[in-house]
Amino acid sequence: MIDLLSAKCEPINPKDKPLIIPTIESYMSVLKGWEVPLNYQSIEKTFQFKNYYQTVAFVNAITWVAHKEDHHPEICFGYNQCKVTLTTHEIKGLSMNDFIMAAKIDALLEA
């Protein structure tokens, strides 16, 4: 298994295939708090904060990482929570990029 934090998101070829379930499960075991729906086409996590300012600061940090990695999550947020969903639209499923982004998003809160 690769070190997700040191890895970089790679361009996706539309002919690439989504990751298979055993590979997805393997990476899910190292990501704390992330969930995968039954269709195995995305991963998601909801983050809780004390207030709106912390939430918006986190969303802004995610957008910086997403721009740097050129892999953009769906982000829904409110006063004190932020839900992040990752998928690779080009292949209609999960790629290594989704797990790299998840690890990098988690690392934002470890600083």
Q: What is the pLDDT of residue 1?
A: 55
Q: What is the pLDDT of residue 104?
A: 97
> Is residue 38 left, alpha or beta, with left meaning phi > 0 and alpha meaning psi from -120 to 50?
alpha
For the chain, list residues with pLDDT below 50.
none
**pLDDT, tens digit (0-9, with 9 covering 90-100), for 46-63:** 999 999 999 999 999 999
Q: What is the pLDDT of residue 2?
A: 75
Q: What is the pLDDT of residue 111?
A: 62
Q: What is the pLDDT of residue 70?
A: 97
Q: What is the pLDDT of residue 99?
A: 98
